[in-house]
């Protein structure tokens, strides 16, 4: 039996190392909602709810995630034995509809606590348990400039940090975008896998032409070329192109996964803990994908260290992860909010192995970057950048 004693939810704004250009927004900072739960025995758990580009990506914002947790989810937790994570989240689901990102943050914190109580990593509490110790990590080239993206790709290859690159396209004309992708494919050649993410910004006609052209220039995968709710068009595109279509915005947990699989609307699933509504639900999406012969990829909402560690624990339980992962969120931020940064190297991320999530927050950095900051020293240029981008 475990009883909630304290809940603290706050937004942390950390600047990005460079502008991150998406089809629907340009990010200069990442806003993460961190939830910290403590039980009456003093066991603490942390979770993260993070989206990209305010409300331009989905229907939850950092502010709405915090508000849903504080106002509606924490009162439910107060009535539960929070050692029983599945039962607690089932009760939360009955009281709060939707709000998948907020639920994911809370479930993550509960699993962190459960793992600490049991002395085992969160990955051992999911599905069949952990099957790998490290994950391949893609990098997103999204400066918007071809020469700069090629230089960044070369640098990542030389440092042995990434050899999978995702390009964010969909903002410019299709031909212009394909020329940009083709130049990068040509420059990096067989040394890298190049994929694109259109973030739903094409019409079906544009996608028809774009996917054929992308295949010709050596691109390996096209992520969410058209609206995620147009399954019929996704099915037509998947049926008529050899280059796989990856479902991302179309995926909102197990039910949509089953619908996409039944409609043969995608060849690859982007697994995301927040999009799925939690770590358990992500494992269910993975199971549906595997049963349907759909390739799996570990996606990110550009979470910081907490959400990235949580994602890594789930992805470490997926037997077949043929498309790798993109858990590079912390590397895009100027500061990691963990006391010990996640371990990146040799094109991979090491899955934390300590109890729970296997991570600890850096209190000084939190005090500095949290939006309702309690630290009074305000002098660093990073803070001005954070304010400008928030």
Q: Which residues are catalytic?
A: 168
- CB-nearer residue toward Mg ion: 38 or 206: 206
The span from the CA of 194 to the CA of 190, in Å, is 10
Cβ 249 to Mg ion shortest distance, Å: 7
Cβ 350 to Mg ion shortest distance, Å: 24
Cβ 199 to Mg ion shortest distance, Å: 6
Cβ 222 to Mg ion shortest distance, Å: 11
Cβ 24 to Mg ion shortest distance, Å: 11
From residue 243, alpha-carbon distances to 225, 236, 238, 352 in Å are 12, 13, 8, 34
Q: Are 239 and 263 in contact (CB under 8 A)?
A: no
Residues in contact with 376: Cβ distance below 8 Å, sequence separation at least 6, in sequence order? none
Tell me which residues touch Mg ion (CB under 5 A).
197, 223, 248
Cβ 59 to Mg ion shortest distance, Å: 16
Cβ 223 to Mg ion shortest distance, Å: 5
- CB-nearer residue toward Mg ion: 184 or 222: 222
Q: Which residue has the tokens 């964010």?
A: 168
The span from the CA of 343 to the CA of 137, in Å, is 11
């Amino acid at each position: 039996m475990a009883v909630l004693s304290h809940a603290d939810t706050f937004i942390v704004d950390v600047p990005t190392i460079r502008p991150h250009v998406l089809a629907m927004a340009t990010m200069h900072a990442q806003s993460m909602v961190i939830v910290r739960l403590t039980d009456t025995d003093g066991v603490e758990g942390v979770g993260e709810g993070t989206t990209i580009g305010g409300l331009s990506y989905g229907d939850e914002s950092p502010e709405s995630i915090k508000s849903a947790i504080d106002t509606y989810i924490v009162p439910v937790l107060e009535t539960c034995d929070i050692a029983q994570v599945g039962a607690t989240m089932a009760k939360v689901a009955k009281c709060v509809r939707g709000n998948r990102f907020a639920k994911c943050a809370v479930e993550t914190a509960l699993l962190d606590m459960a793992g600490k109580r049991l002395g085992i990593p969160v990955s051992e509490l999911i599905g069949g348990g952990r099957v790998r110790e490290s994950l391949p990590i893609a990098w997103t080239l999204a400066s918007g400039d071809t020469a700069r993206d090629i230089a960044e790709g070369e640098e990542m290859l030389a440092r042995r940090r990434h050899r999978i690159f995702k390009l964010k396209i969909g903002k410019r004309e299709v031909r212009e975008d394909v020329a940009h992708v083709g130049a990068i494919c040509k420059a990096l050649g067989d040394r890298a896998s190049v994929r694109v993410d259109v973030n739903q910004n094409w019409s079906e006609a544009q996608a028809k032409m774009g996917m054929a052209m992308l295949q010709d220039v050596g691109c390996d995968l096209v992520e969410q070329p058209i609206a995620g709710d147009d399954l019929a068009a996704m099915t037509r595109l998947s049926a008529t192109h050899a280059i796989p279509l990856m479902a991302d915005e179309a995926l909102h947990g197990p039910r949509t996964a089953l619908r996409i699989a039944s409609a043969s609307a995608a060849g690859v699933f982007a697994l995301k803990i927040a999009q799925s509504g939690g770590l358990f639900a992500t494992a269910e999406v993975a199971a549906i994908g595997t049963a349907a012969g759909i390739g799996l990829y570990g996606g990110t909402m550009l979470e910081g260290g907490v959400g990235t560690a949580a994602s890594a624990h789930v992805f470490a339980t997926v037997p077949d992860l043929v498309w790798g992962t993109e858990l590079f969120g912390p590397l895009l931020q100027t500061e990691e909010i963990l006391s010990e940064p996640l371990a990146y190297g040799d094109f991979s991320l090491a899955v934390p192995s300590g109890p729970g999530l296997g991570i600890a927050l850096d209190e000084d950095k939190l005090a500095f970057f949290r939006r309702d900051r309690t630290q009074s020293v305000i002098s660093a240029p990073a803070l001005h950048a954070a304010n400008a981008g928030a």
